[in-house]
Structure 1
């Protein structure tokens, strides 16, 4: 017996079973590249494998581009060296530098480098909102 679903219906049905992370909680500075910070990111959890794909997809829309991420090793002690994302592999480099504390650097092949303040996922919403707003100015 042949399926009675159209191609569009089949695609919708298949996509209904695919989980996608929500858009990242990210604020970019008004003058990106003109200060020490390009913005701030408030991840929902401390699992980079879950958080990085949506962040990188927003910052680097070119699916073929190479992406290297540098994270503070003290903030992400279980950071993997590679994160698989749809259409790309994200290289992760934990750093020990004191000046990288609370920061993440996303180095994208096509759009350049983003330096972001990382607001801890454990921060209360009102505190995180203030930090995000401050980084966006």
Structure 2
């Protein structure tokens, strides 16, 4: 897989999100290894991820990552809709907005930039609603 389309806050951030990820497809088993490979040097070893069941309907329970296997947990909690939570062990958790793969480039660019702004206070569902209102699909 090519390098992931990813933006991160410069530090842990102060809002509900720590950045955004724009996968190319909805096959987590294909997309996640590339994401984790890109994050490895920034966040340390990711030991597990929690994903939204609506965004990833056929998600596997484990996914290979560089050097180890990641356990995948499913969440149906609305507050976690359109996010992926990365459990980085002793370094804590990081939550990323998951930009839908088919999102128009202009909307995706805005979402990636806004989600990685340390001052952003918008939730993932709110950001996606704003993007949908401002960009045609």
By the TM > 0.5 criterion, same fold? yes
Alignment match, 1:37? 17
User: Is 1:121 matched up with 2:101?
Assistant: yes
Tell me which structure has the larger Cα radius of gyration.
1
Alignment match, 2:115? 135
Greater relative contact order (Cα 8 A, min sep 6): structure 1 or 2? 2
**CA 1:65–1:39: 2 relative to 1, 3 Å:** closer
Q: CA deviation at 1:30?
A: 3.3
Alignment match, 2:51? 71
Q: SS of the residue aligned with 1:120?
A: coil
Q: Is contact 1:37-1:115 (8 Å) kept? A: yes
Alignment match, 2:126? none
**CA 1:35–1:53: 2 relative to 1, 3 Å:** same
Alignment match, 1:106? 86
Q: What is the alpha-carbon distance in structure 2 between the residues aligned to residue 44 and residue 72 of structure 1?
A: 17
How many residues are aligned here? 116
What does 1:49-60 correspond to in 2, within 5 Å?
Answer: 49-60=29-40
List alignment gaps of at least 5 residues for structure 2: 118-137
TM-score calculated relative to the size of structure 2: 0.77
Q: Is contact 1:65-1:110 (8 Å) kept? A: no
List alignment gaps of at least 5 residues for structure 1: 1-20
Q: What is the alpha-carbon distance in structure 2 between the residues aligned to residue 133 and residue 47 of structure 1?
A: 24
Q: What is the alpha-carbon distance in structure 2 between the residues aligned to residue 33 and residue 112 of structure 1?
A: 13
Q: CA deviation at 1:35?
A: 1.8
